Chain A
Amino acid sequence: MSDIHAQDVAFVRDSMIPESPPPQRQAGVVKWLRENLFSGPVNTVLTILGLLIIWYLVSHFWDWFAHSVWNAESLAQCREIIAATWGEGARGACWAVIRERWHQYMFGFYPPALYFRPVMAFGFLMVALAPVLFSESLRIRRYVLIVTAIATLALMLLLKAPAGWLAFATAVFAAALWLAERQVARLLVFSALYPLLGVWLLWGGSLWGPIMVLGAIGLGWLAWRLLVGLSPLVAMIAGVAVTVGLLMFLVGPAADDAESLLSLSIIPVASDQFGGFLLSITIGVAGIALSLPLGIILALARRSDMFLVHTLAVVFIEFIRGVPLISLLFVASLLLNYFLPPGTNFDIILRVIIMVTLFAAAYMAEVIRGGLAALPRGQYEAADALGLDYWKAQRLIILPQALKISIPGIVSTFIGMFKDTTLVVFVGLFDPLKGISDFVRANFAWKGIYWEPFIFVGAIFFIICFSMSRYSMYLERRLRREHR
């Protein structure tokens, strides 16, 4: 058998023919095109359709973009320049309106000399978020912090911030970077302090206010600490009561007294001067931050086996989720004053924040409930086995993990809320999309300008929301990996 050779048997080959390059149709660009664009009749049609759509869009908008005018004082002047440069009947974008009014789209009517304060507040916001959002990876955290610090400081320089503030911001960023490298958990202290700092930077006024509020919260915590051995429930009630009581009756006068002793005041800015993206971000961030504790309580209540507590939570959540945000905004603008004691009156932005908080809390509760449900049963059982009571178990074991799983959901909720803040225009606030644009168009010079502001504002919304959604998707993937 073994002496059968290729020469004897016609169908067995013993020498290979040399390798030849793949046929043209199976290699390189052609292969890629064939596989990805023209693999069948349906695909070919789709490709042609796609090309047609792109061609249609490009051919319609290209000359408009190409004929952009950046320097002009009015729409009429823009049109003159376009007609003069590209001939009669040419279409072109008039970006001059953005160049002239960008600050109103960003800051509304915030005093221009103080623009650096919101910039700083949002720079610090990233620092405060770092230990929460970017706790996963040192590399990302470092990157985010450095970029934020450089951007914030550069913007502050451009906006002619006083040297003292620059030094303050530099110090905060340096400290944050150092902490972020070594002990991220310590940075959480900054996150906890941030709400007060942010409010102070945005609204200005006396620093004693935040300090006194901090004091009230500290005393409340002390009361809780002292009583927690007795009964966690009593301790919590006492802590809340002390804090609220102090806030209601002592903080105001105490801050005034302290202020008269030692003035730590910066120029106050009233809420009605907020507008544009400053307003959107303020409402969005405040809504999410304030709704977090409420959302946690609602989520725990909804999972509770106490019938009444459970029912109340369900009713509240489903009610809020069942009505449009715009109706809640109308409640803020038209009805809230009916529901509060006669004579109470606070400004519309605060009322809007209250309603937005309630709105976000319902969605937040559902997100956190999802996080709680996703936690393996073993964690609850382990907490029980350790003999922890309900609140200890929640605080030490359940919530830290559940909240961590919920972060992507919370970010999505924030994106939704942030987009929805544009609705505040319907209660007379100057949102960037319609409020500011209508106001700009009320001026003779910019009457009839539509697309440029839309595109500008839309692009900013897109950048913010898109990057946030991408990051939350990344977090989600990461969390999923960890759970395996």
Chain B
Amino acid sequence: MVDISAQPGTSFRLSMLLYDRRYRSMTIQVIVFILVMAAGWWLVDNTIRNLQALGKDFNFGFLFQRAGYDIPSPPIPYNSDDTHLRAAIVGLLNTVIVSFLGCIAATILGIAVGVARLSNNWLFARLMTVYVEMFRNIPLLLWILIVYAIFTEVLPPPNAYRGENPAASMILFDNVALTNRYTAIPTLGLTNDPGHLDLGYRITVDWATIAFAVVLIGGWFIRKAVLNWAQRVQDATGDRPVTWWINLGIMLVPSLLLIWYFGLHLIPPELKGFNFVGGLNVQNGFVALWLALTLYTGAFIAEIVRGGILAVSKGQTEAAYALGLRPNKTMKLVILPQALRVIIPPLISQYLNLTKNSSLAIAVGYMDLRGTLGGTTLNQTGRELEAILLMMLIYLALSLLISGGMNIYNSRVKLKER
């Protein structure tokens, strides 16, 4: 019996680390590992020495100190006595709110414009092309500044609404006031208020909100079941029962009942003292940022949508027409499902871009994560290392969450390969 490993010529030589394919990749990885570790150690060591030289330390204790500054219209209760941590959370929520609303609006706008650019209306298609090219080729910061400047320079100040013969008047049946500080919109009031659920940390949720959410989500599931039933009936008999009124009823009737029960009504804003009170004042910084992000990202999404639709071969449309499908059915059943596969991956990166670009809130004084944790908190405490690293980690987590979520959706619409 011969021991294979003892064969002459296969004994290990040092040079094999470099020349033998089996070992070389190991060698390279070890070298890379050592280099990366060394670089990491070098950075950490430098940081420690620099911190020592400055007499500073690295700790996140500042997050639990009193913040001392105010944030306009925080989404959760907040005042200057709260901690920096709570201020950072308020900022994070503001970032999430503007990004979320921006993504939704940009998607709607982008789809509309992308389709409009392909429309056979010469004028409108050209107009949309001008919009897309204008917004794609000029920095976002300029758009934010312009939209913000339009708000502050063109809209009237609140006191223009004052007096016997005011210079400005409220719109939508005296419910909405556009001012150069905020847009005052009505809030919802309850005459029969069931109180609220206390989640701790001074965060509360109205029972009424919960009731509406339950009703709507429940309605959604029932609607799905109804559609399934309709499909089954269609499969069995070939006739599809008319379901729209059932669905409408499921969604509407309980909601209307709830509105009646709680006595839901609008509380319009009214001018009192310096400002409108009673309603909800949506800060212009927020609106300007949201609008600029929407218009800017919408232009990019429009191009993606257009590209996606163009990528579906013309034969598909013609085949659908040949089957007797009407244009909107063709779009819904044939073109869009195919186009979506092309559209979604770049759409994800646009959502990510929008979220990251929301950090330009700095230009309009909207207190997002960068404005609180990476702005005022950093300034007041002088903890730039901790604050910025933490801020970057939060943004990173947000990005990973978005791309993770969207990737799940992507894999669902992806062509099932057989």
Contacts and interface: CB of A to CB of B under 8 A. Distances in A.
A/B touching: CB–CB < 8 A:
yes
Contact of B137 (A305, A306, A457, A462): A462
Given A419-B140, A433-B142, A454-B146, A324 B359 contact: yes
Interface in A276-316: 305-309, 312
Contacts of B385: 334-335, 338
A318, A321, A469 pick with most chain B CB within 10 angstroms: A321
Contacts of A309: 28-29, 32
Given A53-B127, A338-B47, A342-B49, A458 B32 contact: no
A322 B47 CA distance: 23
Given A319-B396, A321-B399, A334-B388, A461 B123 contact: no
B119 A433 contact: no
B142 A422 contact: yes
Interface string B121-133: 1111001000001
B311 interface: no
A49 B124 contact: yes
B124 A422 contact: no
Interface string B236-274: 000000000000000000000000000000000000000
Contacts of B145: 433-434, 454
Contacts of B160: none
B53 interface: yes
B400 interface: yes
Interface string A30-50: 000001110100010011011
Given A326-B359, A419-B139, A458-B142, A321 B123 contact: no
B395 A37 contact: no
Contacts of A337: 50
Contacts of B134: 462
Contacts of A54: 127
B29 A307 contact: yes
A434 B43 contact: no
A15 B144 CA distance: 71
B399 A322 contact: yes
A189 interface: no
A209 B163 CA distance: 72
B25 A323 contact: no
A461 B396 contact: no
B153 interface: yes
Contacts of B46: 338-342
B36 interface: yes
Contact of A338 (B25, B51, B127, B356): B51
B197 interface: no
B24 to A, nearest CB: 8
A53 B120 CA distance: 18
Contacts of A420: 139
Interface of B is mostly: helix
Nearest to B33: A308
Contact of A322 (B18, B124, B363, B395): B395
A335 B384 contact: yes
Given A231-B19, A337-B50, A338-B50, A323 B392 contact: yes
B382 to A, nearest CB: 10
A322 B400 CA distance: 7
B153 to A, nearest CB: 7
Interface residues of B, number: 57
Contacts of B119: 43, 46
Contacts of A434: 141, 145, 363
Nearest to B52: A342
A334 B384 contact: yes
Contacts of B370: 324, 326-327
A37 B123 contact: yes
B32 to A, nearest CB: 6
B51, B133, B388 pick with most chain A CB within 10 angstroms: B388
B159 interface: no
Nearest to A465: B137
Interface string B37-73: 0000001001101110100000000000000000000
A335 B54 CA distance: 13
Nearest to B363: A434
Given A50-B123, A323-B395, A461 B18 contact: no
A331 to B, nearest CB: 6
Contacts of A330: 374, 384, 388
Contacts of B146: 454, 458
A466 interface: yes
A451 B152 CA distance: 13
A43 B116 CA distance: 10
A419 B357 CA distance: 12
Contact of A454 (B18, B142, B399, B400): B142
B18 A233 contact: yes
Interface in B7-36: 18-19, 24-25, 28-29, 32-33, 36
B205 to A, nearest CB: 31
Interface in A431-475: 433-434, 450-451, 454, 457-458, 461-462, 465-466, 469
B388 A342 contact: no
A154 interface: no
Contacts of A403: none
Contacts of B120: 35-36, 39, 43
Nearest to A32: B122
A87 to B, nearest CB: 22
B43, B49, B123 pick with most chain A CB within 10 angstroms: B123
B392 to A, nearest CB: 5
Given A39-B120, A326-B362, 13 more contacts: A36-B123, A47-B124, A307-B29, A321-B352, A322-B352, A322-B399, A327-B359, A342-B49, A450-B153, A454-B146, A461-B138, A462-B134, A466-B133
15 contacts: A35-B120, A37-B123, A49-B124, A306-B28, A319-B396, A322-B399, A327-B359, A327-B391, A327-B392, A327-B395, A341-B49, A342-B50, A423-B141, A462-B137, A465-B137
The 3 closest A-B pairs by CB, nearest first: A322-B399, A36-B122, A465-B137
Interface of B: 18-19, 24-25, 28-29, 32-33, 36, 43, 46-47, 49-51, 53, 116, 119-124, 127, 133-134, 136-142, 145-146, 149, 153, 352, 356-357, 359-360, 362-363, 370, 374, 378, 384-385, 388-389, 391-392, 395-396, 399-400
